[in-house]
Structure 1
Amino acid sequence: MRTERGGRSKAHSLITFIGVSVLSGALAAGLAIPFAGFAGQGSEQVAKSVQDLPRELVVDPVAVRSRILASDGSLIATLYEQNRIPVPLDRISPIMRRAIVAIEDSRFYDHGALDAKGTIRAMVRNQTEGEVQQGGSSITQQYVKLSLVEKAKTAEERQRATAVTYERKLTELRYAIAIESQLSKDEILERYLNLVNFGDGAYGVQAAAQHYFRTTADKLTLPQAAMLAGLVKNPTGYDPTNNMARARARRDVVLKRMLELKVISLRQANQALKTPVINLKRVLPVPNGCANSRYPFYCEYVVSKLLDNPALGATVKDRDHFLKTGGLLIRTSIDPRIQKAAQKSISAHSKPTDTAIAAITIVQPGSGLVKAMVQSKPYGNGRNHTNYNYNVEKSYAGGYGGFQNGSTMKAFTIAAAIQKGVPLNYRINSPEQINLSGKKFRTCKGWTRDPDYTPRNSTHSGNLTMVEAARFSTNTYFLQLSQRVGLCPIARVAGKLGMYNAQTLHPLDQVVSMTLGVGYVTPLMLSNAYATFAARGKYCKPLVVASIRDKAGRYIDTPQIDCDQALSPQVADGVNRVLSAVMEPGGTGGRLNFGNWDLAGKTGTIQDNLAVWYAGYAPNLAGAAVVADANLPYTNLMYRHTLDGRDISDPTGSGTAGPLWQTAMQGALKGMPLRHFKAPPRKMLGAAEPRPADEGRPPDENGGGPGRR
């Protein structure tokens, strides 16, 4: 008896719920439920479902595309799960609003949460068919359904949100009642038009207007609005880029319905019917992701840094989702003018078909802002393409992880020597070849030696000063200097200037040959380290993301310019003087000088010619260029390797990588103010002996490794 009474009570609850809702005008069109169907579903079960439904729909923010911009505000890439640009209703043309109401819910402004006429019509059709065939859903109910689909995080939730069941219809109905009590009709219409799928990857009316017609939502014409309104019923089937004939037929249905409702005149209808649906040549694709960016390698590096930012979410998955749905505006460091200059240099001195690769990074001293990042192999999976970014470390999927840096490492030996009081005119007898077999070199943890090491010079020998040895890149001078100064001070300087092993992310190894190149470094690391000398000892962490704003215009936390005084200004001035000599007549970089700029730099050629470098700077910009074999196992660039379509017969830092650096920097510096290095103190020209290499301490907390200075 209790069960029978309970069943009658629940059934009564259901009937009361539907009856009151219809009578009050609160139900939205489309509750397609033939009463006979209740028996099939089980009235007790359906009634319980109604009682258990929540009364308010919590709507998640709609997915909005994010944009990555260059420093000048130009677009680099668009990231999205759904291509959407929300706009307020007053920025949607009145004819678009009238078109969507005419075809989807002509009594939208007259009924409540359910249009009784539409519901009865659907009931009759569904009763005849014996199942739910016709929905007649109102705009409010459609908005609810779209919102539920948008909220779904799993396949099961999506299936529930779209299932053709009475339970789902009732769920939508209850939510529709809540929506109608909370929002005005205009607010519902605005949300609907910004949420709905208009086909071909366009979500929301603004994105659709831009995509199909290269216009904005507020400028849509009658035939354009009718076409878009027609798409909502079947975004794929009526997509004009898939089937123009079906799209036209559907558009014309909308126009005729608008005429029937007296929304437009006969003259307007006839004129619109004669109008072409779209011009396929004018359809504006909206590329998604970095692969479609004009700077794909740089873009991917930016995204990798964004995915490291906890302000965008607790996990990488959360950050990735927010990045593609949060409507973020991400301004980056890249300068299109400088990027163009660097790309022009790459194009002038290399070809994608070369067996060797070339890469250049340019950084702004005193800020760490990465202004250009280019390479010779284009992005992609095809022949002569690559997904590797040769400019950056191996800390994310696309990073190649660098090459040994050769004699560019001598700059850090020079800085360490000056710090220890070695004057710039300090002389060391530097023969063509020396025997360092078994010689002890002081490290941060003790001593190291090489049992069989007899290095030689490839350039000038003799009794040289530091300036002269740098000009000629004399190996035997710098090996002896590093022995006298100690490897620990060199490691400490290199670490403070952001140098670490780009493959392992560990500090550089302290080995006997350290000053001639060690580990694997990247053009980004090397250019930024040299930028420290240009900035008179101020080291700044490399920075690619300048700012992030959410769709409300609020700033989101992101690392900002982060600098410290890694070297004293006087030590940096001394390094600048020494490395300027490299670019004077007779120096290894003498042929690379240009204009009236104060320039400094250093060549680098690693053992067996596996890679060659040129790193250099003006007070305004610093850059590093590398030419290398990027295939495993690495082979000598002299043998069966090409650059710019020609065999590399004599790979050198100055002759092979140098021209890439020169052309890029000359173009990048064009139009910038002429600045000069500051002369070092006179006392640096003395003849004092260096202090002994007694450094037994490890590098300090800023002494190496990723994120260290």
Structure 2
Amino acid sequence: MELVTDQHKKKAKTILKWLITAGIGCLFLFLFFILSLWGFAKIQGPPPIKVPQTTRIYDANHYLIGKVEHENQNRTWVHMDDISKSLVNATLSIEDKRFYQHHGFDLKRLAGAVLADVKSFSKQQGASTITMQYARNLYLDHEKTWMRKLTEALYTMRLEMNYSKDQILEGYLNTIYYGHGAYGIEAAAKYYFNKNADELTLSEASLLAGIPKGPSYYSPYHNFKRAKQRQKIVLQSMVNNGYITKQAANSAFHAPIRLVHKHKPMNRTAPYFQDAVESVLQNQLHIDQKTLAAGGLKVYTTLNSNMQKKAEYWVKQVINPASDIQTAVIAMNPQNGAVEAMVGGRDYHKSSYNRAVQAMRSPGSSFKPFLYYAALRNGFTPSTTLRSEPTTFTYNKGKSKYAPSNFGGYYANGPITLAQALALSDNIYAVKAHLSIGMDQLVKTARKVGIKAPLADIPSLALGSQPVSVLEMAKGYSAFANGGARVTPHYITKIVNQKGETIYEWHPKKEQVLNKAATFVLSQLMTGVFDKKLNGYSKVTGASIAHILTHKVAGKSGSTAADSWMIGFTPRLVSAVWVGYDKGQSISTYPDSGYAKKIWAHFTESALEGQPKNSFKPPKGVVRRLVDPKNGKLAAKGCPNARYTYYLKGTAPNEYSHRCYKEKGPENGRKKHKGFFNRWFHWFH
């Protein structure tokens, strides 16, 4: 037994000795590797400073329309002596409190970050020092890969071996991004406070020091409350690190912040459109801000500059300059989804809020075409009649009631056809149809054409009670214009990098989601809003602008107490206009309520200049009949206001209207005493 024990002890000592030797060897190898890296960094010398190249944005004809953040960029380099000491201390405290103690790497933070990455099997944790951030800003992208981190480490060593700490800090403060195109602390001080960098107070400096963590997220212009919360964190870190007292931090936090509210206007083409492009670049294509601002990309877009000018022109021409009312305009090619013009508000310099894509407003009756498509697919025809009269509807198994009214309190007090109901925008007919086919059918149709906004199965949905965006409505109407095929709105066609390589290219896709024949029947019904032949108990809703149009266009207006809409299309153009007040103020005056229609009509007519007067082509499965619009029955030639109407094959009326004969006599109906048979038959009377 004792012999066995001794053998075990000897074996254990041998293993321990080997482990110690191996550990010492690994340590020496690691130290040699680190020293070699530092030596390599020293031999390589200072890394060359890359000159940033501005990203350029082009329209559909490849004309330059803008540069990403370029107009606001001010890369004025200032020395450390010309930077507020409070800003320097605030930055060191929140970004890298041991900056002057380490050699480019904060080992304590780095160890914690590596441990967190290993535990989560990811590369999400960061321990970047100021030197590492400076290296990344100058030479690398922000992709979270091990190779990028290793390359970053080598650049960090080269910076640390060849520049002093003050030089590195100075370079960092002159290149870090503070949002709104302001690169470097001098540009940021000018942009936010109209001051030089050495004039910043502790309150201002602590606010600015918090922005680089998320320039858009912590911008005081975007969200002042959030920026103040971040400032509080910065001030507390300064207290913890001994830069200021708690009392000084409290005073700085409560000191008034006087931001510069008026900046020099930027001469940007289609600024709302360009903002939408930048949003797609960052949020959908995941191109980081550094690459956008200095990557030298060429971004080719769908913008039709000529069409854009026309949209902006008619907004200015139609709306009273003294009015506070706002507007949004979208023009889109329904064949491929290309957004060709966009107006997000009346004055970008006063408000950069893009109402074309960000605002959610109730579309009113402009939502009815989705209902009437569903109705056509569920047994209705253009000649289907329902009574238009004050009605209280009961739903939800008799538990709820809904009593809509027609505009102005006008009703037919009798039957009207679907064709006339759409043209006059009769609300009673719409709700009756909605309940008749099942309220889920409208929601299903809206979803098919790409409307993703929340929609409820309620009676008022037939009248457009649920908020949607202007872009969503344009997308929905594009399916009607495109023969029932859904396309996705897009702004960017191609992106080319500095090397001339195409790194992104858009390939339009169509998906047939609606029945072609039913879609065409609906589109022709929607031309009726401009046709006085469909006048009834009131005029057709497009009567006030019909004289402006020379092209055959389908359309629908919509209104609520706070919103006015007009949307229309041809097979080559969808145009949508919204007018209203940002805070939901009621549209009470006649000019306000008529702005949307006038802007839409003038813009659409000018945008269609040079195109065929009628580009609608009937597909298979539809038939055309001459119909009496009063009752939806067949009419002979000469019948007053007789109108050609399209029907799904097999659903056209087969009964003739007798109204024509009563009003105009037999010469306008089936003419008697004409032809040999009739003359011969006449002698027997």
Q: Does 1:302 align with 2:254?
A: no
Structure 1 residues 572 and 149, CA gap change in structure 2 (3 angstroms): closer
Distance between the aligned counterparts of 2:442 and 2:473, measured in 1?
15
Match of 1:661 in 2: 600
For residues 592-635 of structure 1, give each alpha carbon's deviation from its aligned partner in whole angstroms, at most 9, with x where no partner exists: 234542211111011xx21111111122211111111212xx22
Structure 1 residues 439 and 323, CA gap change in structure 2 (3 angstroms): same
TM-score (norm: length of structure 1): 0.54
Q: What is the correspondence of 1:241-260 to structure 2 with a 5 Å cutoff?
A: none
Q: Does 1:684 align with 2:648?
A: yes
For residues 494-530 of structure 1, give each alpha carbon's deviation from its aligned partner in whole angstroms, at most 9, with x where no partner exists: 11212232xxxxx322211111013222222212221
Structure 1 residues 169 and 676, CA gap change in structure 2 (3 angstroms): closer
Q: What is the correspondence of 1:424-573 to structure 2 with a 5 Å cutoff?
A: 424-431=382-389, 433-436=390-393, 438-440=394-396, 450-458=400-408, 459-461=410-412, 462-501=414-453, 507-573=454-520
Query: Is the contact made by 2:361 and 2:467 (CA closer than 8 Å) also made in structure 1?
Result: yes
Distance between the aligned counterparts of 2:60 and 2:399, measured in 1?
48
Q: CA deviation at 1:56?
A: 4.5
Query: Is the contact made by 1:291 and 1:379 (CA closer than 8 Å) also made in structure 2?
Result: no
Q: Does 1:588 align with 2:541?
A: yes
Structure 1 residues 434 and 556, CA gap change in structure 2 (3 angstroms): same
Query: Is the contact made by 2:327 and 2:580 (CA closer than 8 Å) also made in structure 1?
Result: yes
Amino acid at match of 2:162: R
Structure 1 residues 449 and 416, CA gap change in structure 2 (3 angstroms): farther
Consecutive unaligned residues of structure 2, counting only runs of 5 or more, are 1-34, 74-133, 143-151, 166-174, 176-180, 184-262, 624-646, 654-685
Structure 1 residues 565 and 52, CA gap change in structure 2 (3 angstroms): closer
Query: Is the contact made by 2:53 and 2:295 (CA closer than 8 Å) also made in structure 1?
Result: yes
Match of 1:635 in 2: 585
Q: Does 1:421 align with 2:379?
A: yes
Distance between the aligned counterparts of 1:48 and 1:569, measured in 2?
71
Structure 1 residues 563 and 331, CA gap change in structure 2 (3 angstroms): same
Q: CA deviation at 1:419?
A: 1.6
Q: CA deviation at 1:309?
A: 3.1
SS at match of 2:400: coil
SS at match of 2:579: strand
Q: CA deviation at 1:659?
A: 0.5
Structure 1 residues 60 and 539, CA gap change in structure 2 (3 angstroms): farther
Query: Is the contact made by 1:60 and 1:150 (CA closer than 8 Å) also made in structure 2?
Result: yes
Percent of aligned positions with the same letter in both sequences? 22
Distance between the aligned counterparts of 2:37 and 2:615, measured in 1?
78
Q: What is the correspondence of 1:45-194 to structure 2 with a 5 Å cutoff?
A: 51=39, 53=41, 55-56=43-44, 63-79=52-68, 150-151=138-139, 168=162
Query: Is the contact made by 2:378 and 2:437 (CA closer than 8 Å) also made in structure 1?
Result: yes
Q: CA deviation at 1:49?
A: 9.7
Query: Is the contact made by 1:64 and 1:326 (CA closer than 8 Å) also made in structure 2?
Result: yes
SS at match of 1:484: helix
Query: Is the contact made by 1:302 and 1:544 (CA closer than 8 Å) also made in structure 2?
Result: yes
- Choose the corresponding residue for 1:346, options 305, 311, 315: 315
Query: Is the contact made by 1:334 and 1:370 (CA closer than 8 Å) also made in structure 2?
Result: yes
Structure 1 residues 657 and 322, CA gap change in structure 2 (3 angstroms): same
Query: Is the contact made by 1:425 and 1:686 (CA closer than 8 Å) also made in structure 2?
Result: no
Structure 1 residues 563 and 61, CA gap change in structure 2 (3 angstroms): farther
Match of 1:335 in 2: 304
For residues 179-203 of structure 1, give each alpha carbon's deviation from its aligned partner in whole angstroms, at most 9, with x where no partner exists: xxxxxxxxxxxxxxxx9xxxxx9x9
Query: Is the contact made by 1:619 and 1:675 (CA closer than 8 Å) also made in structure 2?
Result: no
SS at match of 2:347: coil
Q: CA deviation at 1:153?
A: 9.4
Structure 1 residues 83 and 554, CA gap change in structure 2 (3 angstroms): farther
Structure 1 residues 161 and 333, CA gap change in structure 2 (3 angstroms): same
For residues 337-384 of structure 1, give each alpha carbon's deviation from its aligned partner in whole angstroms, at most 9, with x where no partner exists: 11111111101111454221122111111111111112442112xxxx
Q: CA deviation at 1:82?
A: 12
Distance between the aligned counterparts of 2:565 and 2:312, measured in 1?
17
For residues 438-488 of structure 1, give each alpha carbon's deviation from its aligned partner in whole angstroms, at most 9, with x where no partner exists: 334xxxxxx796335354454452311110101111000010001111121
Distance between the aligned counterparts of 1:65 and 1:496, measured in 2?
40
Q: What is the correspondence of 1:265-414 to structure 2 with a 5 Å cutoff?
A: 292-310=267-285, 312-313=286-287, 319-351=288-320, 353-380=322-349, 385-392=350-357, 399=358, 401-414=359-372
Distance between the aligned counterparts of 1:361 and 1:157, measured in 2?
49
SS at match of 1:479: helix
Structure 1 residues 52 and 669, CA gap change in structure 2 (3 angstroms): closer
Structure 1 residues 340 and 519, CA gap change in structure 2 (3 angstroms): same
Distance between the aligned counterparts of 1:452 and 1:460, measured in 2?
17
Match of 2:558 in 1: 604
Distance between the aligned counterparts of 1:610 and 1:465, measured in 2?
29
Amino acid at match of 2:615: H
SS at match of 1:367: coil
SS at match of 1:591: coil
Amino acid at match of 1:578: L
SS at match of 2:568: strand
Aligned length: 422
Distance between the aligned counterparts of 1:407 and 1:169, measured in 2?
67
SS at match of 1:451: strand
For residues 146-167 of structure 1, give each alpha carbon's deviation from its aligned partner in whole angstroms, at most 9, with x where no partner exists: 999934999999999788xxx5
Structure 1 residues 389 and 291, CA gap change in structure 2 (3 angstroms): farther
Over the aligned positions, Cα root-mean-square deviation in angstroms equals 3.9
For residues 253-291 of structure 1, give each alpha carbon's deviation from its aligned partner in whole angstroms, at most 9, with x where no partner exists: xxxxxxxxxxxxxxxxxxxxxxxxxxxxxxxxxxx9996
SS at match of 2:276: helix
Query: Is the contact made by 1:361 and 1:523 (CA closer than 8 Å) also made in structure 2?
Result: yes
Consecutive unaligned residues of structure 1, counting only runs of 5 or more, are 1-46, 85-145, 172-194, 196-200, 204-287, 314-318, 393-398, 441-446, 502-506, 639-647, 690-709
For residues 92-146 of structure 1, give each alpha carbon's deviation from its aligned partner in whole angstroms, at most 9, with x where no partner exists: xxxxxxxxxxxxxxxxxxxxxxxxxxxxxxxxxxxxxxxxxxxxxxxxxxxxxx9
Q: CA deviation at 1:410?
A: 0.6
Distance between the aligned counterparts of 2:264 and 2:493, measured in 1?
19
Structure 1 residues 675 and 448, CA gap change in structure 2 (3 angstroms): farther
Distance between the aligned counterparts of 1:544 and 1:49, measured in 2?
46
Query: Is the contact made by 2:299 and 2:495 (CA closer than 8 Å) also made in structure 1?
Result: yes
Query: Is the contact made by 1:366 and 1:532 (CA closer than 8 Å) also made in structure 2?
Result: no
Structure 1 residues 79 and 529, CA gap change in structure 2 (3 angstroms): same
Query: Is the contact made by 2:345 and 2:351 (CA closer than 8 Å) also made in structure 1?
Result: no
- The farther-off stretch of 50-59 and 672-681 is 50-59
Distance between the aligned counterparts of 1:531 and 1:148, measured in 2?
44
**Higher-RCO chain (CA-CA 8 Å, sequence separation at least 6):** 1
Structure 1 residues 688 and 148, CA gap change in structure 2 (3 angstroms): closer
Distance between the aligned counterparts of 2:596 and 2:418, measured in 1?
24
Amino acid at match of 1:588: T
Query: Is the contact made by 1:391 and 1:524 (CA closer than 8 Å) also made in structure 2?
Result: yes
